[in-house]
Amino acid sequence: MLKSLMPRTYHIITFGCQMNKNDSEHLAGMLEFEGCKPADEPSSANILVLNTCAVRDKAERRVYGQLENFDYLRRTNKLDQKIFLAGCMPAYDRGEIQKRAPFLDGFLEIEEARRYPPRRTASAEAWVTIMQGCNNFCVYCIVPYARGRERSRSAEDILAEIRGIDFAKHEVLFLLGQNVNSYAGAWQGRTIAFPELLEIILRECPAVPKLSFLTSHPKDMTDGLIDVLSRQPKIDREVHLPIQHASDRILQLMNRGYTRGHYLNLVSKIRARVPQVKISTDIIVGFPGETENEFLETCELIKTTDFFRVNTAGFSARRGTAAAELPPLKQTVVDERLNRLNTLINSLKPLNK
């Protein structure tokens, strides 16, 4: 399909996380392999690509808004333009998209794009995805449906990609996965876990100036990983460890697989073993059935844990997930609690330097 469109120019707009941004680099790599050239502006591109995020309703609404902008542009532009969608939204709900955006020309597949080397655009970070998908099925989350089950790349494959990175242009190697702590990839005929992968990368690729990774799941973070963090000075001292909620009842309903006590114990262990570590986290506010007291448990934990960074989001029901079947809180309650938590976090900022 793409070949018949060449030679052409393309423009990609990316929504969502670092993994999506890395996917867009592979999409760019695929389009350039096919002879396309990047265009700085959508108005001068023949191929318009939206790489989408489906994690929250707000992200989806922004995608539909952008699609309408593209459609308007195409109708008023003299250039021959095609509009494609990629990423998490078409991976789980193509029918709905075709209904709402019948003018779309088609979908680009991330799995296919990943066969092409990325065209790296981020200046500081060189992203390398070490695993795709997720097996955890946290009840609110669309990722296991949009990205499928976990698939870990072999260490050989990952090393080959890292050796091709020009570290004169990138300050940090960023390893990506929805749950890097459950990495289980092949290395010299056996299966290795994440701590060993980190050691192999640092040993085999001395040009790596600094190494970071996202995301660690608290239920799978091992003493072995904390040990590697404490011994390897090239590993970034910011550890992202999403707790999502502080109430054990809500954590269980969310299917997170750990308790507040386990999480806080992990934080203490990391702080004791890794000097100058900065711990950041994600919080979901207003999960179905969250009581005022349960919300206050989260506020209390935020006050007392001294996080470096806290990302917050109001619960967003995602069609097809188990949490979408639960009776939701009123949106006004979710918004008010989110507001209150954000105000609290802002008031704590000077403490978290």
Q: Which is nearer to ligand SAM, 44 or 311 (CB)?
A: 311
Among ligand SAM, ligand SF4, none, what binds residue 313 when CB lies within 5 to 8 Å by partner kind?
ligand SAM
Among 63, 158, 251, 284, binds ligand SAM (CB under 6 A): 284
Among 51, 52, 136, 152, binds ligand SF4 (CB under 6 A): 136
Site for ligand SF4 in 161-200 (CB under 6 A): 178-179
Among ligand SF4, ligand SAM, none, what binds residue 128 when CB lies within 5 to 8 Å by partner kind?
none
Q: Using CA atoms, how far apart are residues 206 and 160, in angstroms rounded to an integer? A: 13
Note whether 258 binds ligand SAM by CB under 6 A.
no
Among 86, 89, 138, 201, binds ligand SF4 (CB under 6 A): 138
Phi/psi for 308 (5° steps) reads -75, -35
Burial 302-332 (b: 16+ CB within 10 A, else e): beebebeebebbbbbebeebebeebebbeee
Site for ligand SAM in 236-255 (CB under 6 A): 242, 244
Q: Using CA atoms, how far apart are residues 160 and 47, in angstroms rounded to an integer? A: 30
Residue 55: CB minimum distance to ligand SAM, A:
5
Q: Using CA atoms, how far apart are residues 288 and 326, in angstroms rounded to an integer? A: 6
Binding region for ligand SF4 (CB under 6 A) out of 2-10, 80-88, 91-99, 131-139? 131-139
Among ligand SF4, ligand SAM, none, what binds residue 282 when CB lies within 5 to 8 Å by partner kind?
ligand SAM
Site for ligand SAM in 35-64 (CB under 6 A): 55-56
Q: Using CA atoms, how far apart are residues 234 and 198, in angstroms rounded to an integer? A: 10
Note whether 141 binds ligand SAM by CB under 6 A.
yes
Site for ligand SF4 in 45-84 (CB under 6 A): none
Among ligand SAM, ligand SF4, none, what binds residue 144 when CB lies within 5 to 8 Å by partner kind?
ligand SF4
Among 199, 282, 294, 335, binds ligand SAM (CB under 6 A): 282
Among ligand SF4, ligand SAM, none, what binds residue 263 when CB lies within 5 to 8 Å by partner kind?
none
Residues that bind ligand SAM (CB under 6 A): 17, 55-56, 140-141, 143, 178-179, 215, 217, 242, 244, 282, 284, 313, 315-316, 318
The residues binding ligand SF4 (CB under 6 A) are 134, 136-138, 141, 143-144, 178-179, 217
